[in-house]
Amino acid sequence: MQVPDIIIAIDGYSSTGKSTLAKLLAKEFSFLYLDSGALYRGVTLFAQEHGYITEDGVIDEEALRSHLGELDLHFEYTPEGSKTFIGDRCVEAEIRSLRVSGQVSPISAIAFVRAFVDDKLHEAGAAKRVVMDGRDIGTTVFPDAELKIFMTASTEVRTRRRYDEMVGKGETPDWEEVKANLLERDYIDSHREVSPLARAGDAFILDNSDMTLKEEVVWTEGLIHGRFGILD
């Protein structure tokens, strides 16, 4: 399908399958995929490794602010997709751990952290032909994105997805803990002062509780057909 040079913004709750859909659309349309959550996760890992956040979640904002400029956080693009790096170290696995997931929401609520991430996203999105997923892409980062999707799904379905993903990685998660982490993140993400998770007025809602990935792609293609008058 011939898709024009646009930005596709996919926002929504945790574990609704935003990145799975975004990656697939990027592949189908030959777009660049950008995972904004990975950047917040990278900042969180950096803060943990340097002691700017304690195990109990106490954040030394001043220290984080003064050292954030030293963080060389970037994506490297491989044929299998993009990978998150700190310097020359691939941190893709560490940033998906429960330890990082448990502290990423308060870190991402800090205004200067959001400015740091937004700069990187604006740089990457300047070329268009980008699909980006996150919490505030359609509202704050790219409010003029040509296509906005807001994803949601039932709590049970989301917990199942996250649980299975962790089991697939050889972890032994606790169902209730996984569910509690999801709900806590949703709460913090939706209630923070700076750029909270919210649906943009012009975003299309996709509830994929009972949809296959294939159906989600067909649904999105339908939107693009309608929006840009593409007939093939």
Instruction: Give the number of other Cβ atoms within 10 Å of residue 87's Cβ.
Output: 11
Task: Return the DSSP state at 16.
Answer: S
End-to-end CA separation in angstroms for the chain: 7
DSSP H or E run through 35: strand 32-35
Question: Is 29 near ligand DC (CB under 6 A)?
Answer: no
Within residues 6-25, the interface with ligand DC by CB under 6 A covers: 14
Pick out residues in 160-219 that bind ligand DC (CB under 6 A).
185, 189
Binding mask 134-153 for ligand DC (x = CB under 6 A): xxxx----------------
Q: Per-residue contact track with ligand DC, 39 to 78, x per CB under 6 A?
A: -xx-------------------------------------
Stretch that binds ligand DC, among 34-42, 56-64, 198-206, 208-216 (CB under 6 A): 34-42
Nearer CB in complex with ligand DC: 199/228: 199
The amino acid at 57: G
- The closest alpha carbon to 84, from 119, 129, 46, belongs to 46
| Alpha helices by DSSP H, the chain | 18-29, 36-49, 61-67, 98-101, 104-108, 111-125, 155-168, 175-191, 213-228
Q: Tell me whether residue 148 or residue 185 sits nearer to ligand DC (CB atom).
A: 185
C-beta of 6 vs 137, nearer to ligand DC: 137
**What number of other Cβ atoms are within 10 A of residue 57's Cβ?**
11
Report whether 92 contacts 39 (CB < 8 A). no
Cα–Cα dist 29/9, whole Å? 14
Q: For the CB of residue 226, give the shortest distance to ligand DC in the complex, in Å.
A: 26
We find the least distance from the C-beta atom of residue 8 to ligand DC, in angstroms, to be: 14
Shortest approach of ligand DC to residue 53 CB, angstroms? 14
Binding site for ligand DC (CB under 6 A): 14, 36-37, 40-41, 104-105, 108, 134-137, 185, 189
